[in-house]
Amino acid sequence: MFDKLGVLVAHHPWRFIVVWILVTVVAAMGALWGFGQGGLFDRLDNSTSLVKGTDSDEVNELTSSTGGESVTIVVTGLDLESDAAAVTQFMADHRADLADIDDVDTEADPFLFPDPTAPQAQAMMSDKSDGFIIAVTLKDGLSADDSATAEAAVADATTTFSDDLAAEFDGASATLVSQQSMTDSVIGQVQKDLVKGESVGLPVALLLLIIVFGGLLAAGLPILGAIIAIGVGMGIIWALTFSITVEAFILNIISIIGLALSIDYGLLVVSRYREELARVLTDDGYPLDGSRLPDKDRSRHLVAVAVRRTIATAGRTVTFSAMTIAFALAGLLVMKADMLKIIAASGIVVAILAVLAAITVVPSLIVILNRKLIKPSVITRVPGLRSLVKAVGDSSSDHGVFSKLARGVNKHPWIVMLGVIIILGVMAFPLRELQARTSFTDYLPEDAAVTAAYNTIQDDYPALKASTITVVADAAPADTADLVTHLESFDDVSYVSAPAALPDDANRTVINVTIDVENQVGQQIIDDVEELRGYDAGYDILVGGPAALQQDFVESIIDGLPLALTIIIVAVFILMFLMTGSLIVPIKALVINSLSLVASFGATSWIFMEGHLGMPQQLGLETFILACIACFGFGLAMDYEVFLLARIKEYYDAGVPNDEAVERGLQRSGRIITSAAAIIVAVFIGFTFGEMIPIKEAGVALAITVITDATLVRMLLVPATMTILGKWNWWSPKPLRKLYSKVHLVH
């Protein structure tokens, strides 16, 4: 198949380019403008529930689906002790500005109550006497468009209200807070972080590629492939928004992975092409220093030959690598949480696009550029750059720095192996302190006005702050006294709301509980949730709230983990066997990559849980980030495993002894692995410059995973274990050897 693809690309490059241009344009139009259906960013959302059908999901549905949508206006900067009369008059003069908006059902503020000391009025007053709350409720039954229009009108009126307020009370302001305004704030931050991450990562990646390839044209090929893959991927994700909720931050995750894989694959393809080109030029009698070049017709033939060989070798390798990543991500598809499913689906799409771009777009451009890529770049004539390019650029030699490193490892394999395992163990040690958390507020931009207003509610309005635990009881309010008493007995409880019937069901009661602890989804609250779910109230109760949502999310992952791991292990085992013909290599790869991943988790936990290396200290790592890192990190580790083993296996099949095959394979792939790792780390680190904490966690975790894997694991641990195992690396029983001879995936 790859031989035929190589012939097609070599002889019809423009056909592939035209097809990709058309696909990219259509996908970009969908993502940016949406063909009248709203562009990608217009169609993004943030789910208020993670796992359908759980107790926390049902509580969320019951407590949020009744009545019209509510909008809260937070007024700050007042002195209510001295200006109470003036504020009361101000509200009397301006209340209608909000209440009379089309599709607004009710407006409520503390100055509506005849008795300002009434509990209802006091609940809407800041406990610092510096502000108050205005509650605006939209009419029930509004369509999504009408609701959005009404909320936009309330937002405009709030701006005018705030201006009038500031004109009369110096320093006063009003800010609208709603589920939609917070979602819009998150989406806006996603856009900013996406631009910032790519504006940092792409230039650094291009600079490193120029150094690796010694020229701008060759360096630009993987970047161009990445841009195409991500552009088309965004269009496909836009199409997915019509059938499933796509979380805003997923774009950042997919952008990171798309860039990483596209650069990985493009780098390997271009590097292998340069190696094959050097071989055909040498065979044809042309010097590699560019002092004498073939004519146009001859160069066209030689380039075509090199491209065919590249696709037949590196093309097969990167395709195999993409398959392993796709199967690693497929483990998330069996999880119950829709968020994990959409991340998996998007990641698989981007992996497929990245490899398709690498084996069609990049080689097609190579054929079209022809002699321009044969000529030495002007960069190689700059004295300082020439030395740098020679030192770290891609190599066409079987002997060099990495083969020397492999020989050193071969002399002391046990010492190297034990040393690396100890280092990985030290990195993994902080996992003992790791805490997972799932909280929507972690995604809110710190400097956004809506975030400040939301935090004001949490800090200054005890009766209105987001509840720690929400209980829905299958009983009338009058019958829940014992349950309320039990809730009041929990440690650190600061507030238990009066039992209230659900608006649509007088025989079901909702009770909100606030517990004053720093981590609202921490272990103490999770323990309270578990205890409450086991409590016998004499009637059924449902327990929801942030910690319950976190607990249900974690349990859904645990429930899906056996099947997910089975899919990943079986798929990787089969693919690695088809590549190497060995039963030992897949087992070793799974064990080593798992060690690398655990070590990376530990280091990431140390950085964020304790606030090291300039990262903000966190109460825990986002649960979904941990799941994503596990799959993406494992996939990237398999990437480098495939790159290295493909070259080692190539030499071993040619009759080269095991240890020498390891040396040559590491020499040929070592620069590619380390160069790709350096470039990818630059991309990952670029995304830590954004404001969204979960994306920072993903960027740092994946960067650590790549650094660990490309240095300790690929350069040291893998050669050491392969030296120790010797010929047993390639062992498999006779029946499987026969099967491998028929269905193997080798160059």
What pLDDT shows up at residue 162? 93
The string of pLDDT tens digits covering residues 654-676 is 888 888 888 888 888 887 888 88
Contacting residues for 455 by C-beta, under 8 A, at least 6 apart: none
What pLDDT shows up at residue 380? 57
Task: Report, in this order, helix, strand and coil percent for the chain, each rounded to 5.
Answer: 70, 10, 20
* Highest mean pLDDT, choosing among 47-56, 209-218, 584-593: 584-593
Q: pLDDT-derived band of residue 291, with 50, 70 and 90 as boundaries? A: low
The string of pLDDT tens digits covering residues 319-334 is 888 888 888 888 888 8
The string of pLDDT tens digits covering residues 712-726 is 998 899 999 989 988
The CA distance from 101 to 112, in Å, is 18
What pLDDT shows up at residue 176? 92
The string of pLDDT tens digits covering residues 445-498 is 887 888 899 889 888 888 888 888 999 999 899 899 899 999 999 888 888 888
Give yes or no for a contact between 347 and 330, defined as CB atoms under 8 angstroms apart: no
Is pLDDT above 90 for 20? yes
Report the DSSP pairing between strands 70-76 and 173-177: antiparallel
What pLDDT shows up at residue 321? 83
The string of pLDDT tens digits covering residues 376-434 is 655 556 655 555 555 555 555 566 778 888 888 888 999 999 999 999 999 999 988 78
Of residues 61, 45, 44, 43, the one with CA closest to residue 549: 61
Structure tokens at 52: 């359908």
Q: Alpha-carbon torsion 200, 203, 206, 210, what sign?
A: negative
Look at phi and psi of residue 265 and say left if phi exceeds 0, alpha if psi is from -120 to 50, else beta.
Answer: alpha
Is pLDDT above 80 for 80? yes
What pLDDT shows up at residue 203? 83
Q: What percent of the chain stands above pLDDT 90? A: 15
Is pLDDT above 80 for 211? no
Count the Cβ atoms, other than its own, within 10 Å of residue 166: 14
Is pLDDT above 60 for 212? yes
Tell me the average pLDDT across 365-370.
87
Tell me the average pLDDT across 273-289.
78
Tell me the average pLDDT across 580-606.
89
Provide the residue type at 256 as one letter. Answer: I
3-state secondary structure of 220: helix
Contacting residues for 305 by C-beta, under 8 A, at least 6 apart: 10, 276, 280
What pLDDT shows up at residue 644? 85
What pLDDT shows up at residue 390? 57
The mean pLDDT value of the chain amounts to: 84
Count the Cβ atoms, other than its own, within 10 Å of residue 387: 10
Q: pLDDT-derived band of residue 602, with 50, 70 and 90 as boundaries? A: very high
CA 472-478-479 angle, 5° bins = 65
Phi, psi (5° rounding) for residue 45?
A: -150, 175
Phi, psi (5° rounding) for residue 502?
A: -65, 140
Is pLDDT above 70 for 690? yes
The CA distance from 240 to 231, in Å, is 15
Structure tokens at 727: 């010929």
Report the DSSP pairing between strands 436-437 and 621-622: parallel
Report the DSSP pairing between strands 541-544 and 469-473: antiparallel
The CA distance from 487 to 516, in Å, is 14
Lowest mean pLDDT across 176-190, 277-291, 297-311: 277-291
Of residues 189, 273, 253, the one with CA closest to residue 701: 253
What pLDDT shows up at residue 672? 80
Is pLDDT above 90 for 116? no
Is pLDDT above 80 for 264? yes
Determine the straight-line distance between the first and last CA of the chain, rounded to whole angstroms: 11
What pLDDT shows up at residue 76? 92
> How long a stretch of residues is the chain?
747
What pLDDT shows up at residue 382? 60
Is pLDDT above 90 for 194? no
Q: pLDDT-derived band of residue 149, with 50, 70 and 90 as boundaries? A: confident
**What are the structural domains of the chain?**
2-37+183-437+552-743 (no CATH), 70-177 (3.30.70.1320), 468-544 (3.30.70.330)
Is pLDDT above 90 for 502? no
User: Considering the entire predicted model, what is its pTM?
Assistant: 0.81
What pLDDT shows up at residue 419? 94
The CA distance from 591 to 593, in Å, is 6
